[in-house]
């Protein structure tokens, strides 16, 4: 058996097309949603992420701007920037790209963002709304998981869902969203006893542990839907041989480039046992930015009536 691929690139394109149509409609009414990104310092990975977010904004017609303070910025200086953006009526969404330099109090900065403009969905007010069943702005990756299931034709209600990972960014909000859709949810983590046995109970398995290919066939109930949130870079040739020997083309590309991406789930085991699954790359990843665009549109509608 080989599972059905849940194609994140296709679903991303659907969502972006829908957002672009709604943004165009709002713009004709004189309202153009706006997104501001704060990129501190010159972290190369952060620069790529922000560039991709701004590119997506332009694509869907959202006005975007990037503020680039130096890596020497203090907490108070960054708080002043956030305060200005909170008061700027043309800005509907604010994102502060993490990680921030060591001297900056990240928690204090994220807490200072107006919850109505918190398009990352990390503010305690938005997390609280999600926990009490009245979600407003939801963290982007978990929101993307639900879109993936809905658009992939996967029934959530009444299913056993197991979430591997308890981070505030993915694990906890994913569990709350699944619970809100009437799944029976178990959250597992590094201290869970007999993790594999718990995971095997899942009709829907969400892997968000950040450990390359840790989830093997022992964790997967045959026929389960597997959502692999992990993105890990493999550089060891022996590890690549073990993981990709069943895919000669991917292995050849690894030897050519010296690295390859793998999720938290062993790809061969997932493809063999799951009824449907998200590949890495091209699965959950593309939806994160699409949901950021959707959150910015949601924030603009809510703020501007």
Residues acting as catalytic residues? 53, 97, 120
Tokens of 108: 């204090």
Please name which of 138, 145, 136 lies closest in space to residue 165, comparing C-alpha atoms: 145
Q: Which two tokens stand for residue 133?
A: 């069943």
**Integer angstrom CA distances of residue 94 from 36, 39, 190, 286:** 5, 11, 33, 20
Q: Which residues pair with 186 in a beta bridge?
A: 162
Phi and psi angles of residue 13, each rounded to the nearest 5 degrees, phi first: -65, -40
Distance between CA atoms of residues 111 and 105, nearest Å: 10
DSSP state of 188: E
Spatial CA neighbour of 164 closest among 146, 186, 188: 188
Which among 158, 162, 223 has a CA at the least distance from the CA of 197?
A: 162
Tokens 């665009």 locate to: 293
Residue 254 in contact with residue 234, Cβ under 8 Å?
yes
Q: Which residues contact 251 (CB under 8 A, 6 or more apart)?
A: 240, 241, 244, 245
Closest CA to 267 of 295, 231, 304: 231
Cα distance between residue 209 and residue 230, in whole Å = 7
């Amino acid at each position: 058996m080989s599972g059905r691929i849940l194609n994140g690139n296709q679903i991303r394109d659907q969502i972006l097309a829908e957002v672009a149509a709604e943004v165009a409609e709002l713009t004709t009414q004189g309202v153009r949603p706006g997104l501001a990104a704060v990129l501190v310092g010159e972290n190369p990975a952060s620069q790529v992420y922000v560039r991709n977010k701004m590119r997506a904004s332009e694509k869907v017609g959202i006005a975007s701007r990037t503020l680039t303070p130096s890596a020497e910025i203090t907490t108070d200086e960054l708080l002043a920037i956030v305060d200005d953006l909170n008061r700027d009526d043309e800005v509907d969404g604010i994102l502060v790209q993490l990680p921030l330099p060591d001297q900056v109090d990240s928690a204090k900065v994220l807490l200072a963002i107006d919850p109505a403009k918190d398009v990352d969905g990390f503010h305690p007010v938005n997390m609280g709304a999600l926990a009490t069943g009245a979600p407003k702005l939801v963290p982007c990756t978990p929101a993307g998981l639900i879109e993936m299931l809905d658009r992939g034709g996967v029934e959530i209600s009444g299913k056993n869902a197991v979430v591997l990972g308890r981070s505030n960014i993915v694990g906890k909000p994913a569990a709350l969203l699944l619970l809100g859709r009437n799944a029976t949810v178990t959250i597992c983590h590094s201290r869970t006893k007999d993790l594999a046995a718990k995971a095997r109970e899942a009709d829907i398995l969400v892997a968000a542990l950040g450990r390359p290919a840790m989830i093997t066939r022992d964790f997967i109930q045959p026929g389960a839907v597997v959502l692999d949130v992990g993105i890990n870079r493999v550089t060891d040739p022996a590890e690549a041989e073990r993981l990709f020997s069943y895919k000669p083309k991917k292995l050849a590309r690894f030897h050519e480039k010296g690295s390859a991406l793998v999720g938290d789930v062993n790809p061969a085991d997932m493809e063999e046992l799951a009824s449907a699954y998200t590949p890495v790359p091209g699965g959950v990843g593309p939806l994160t930015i699409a949901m950021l665009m959707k959150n910015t549109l949601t924030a603009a509608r809510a703020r501007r009536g």
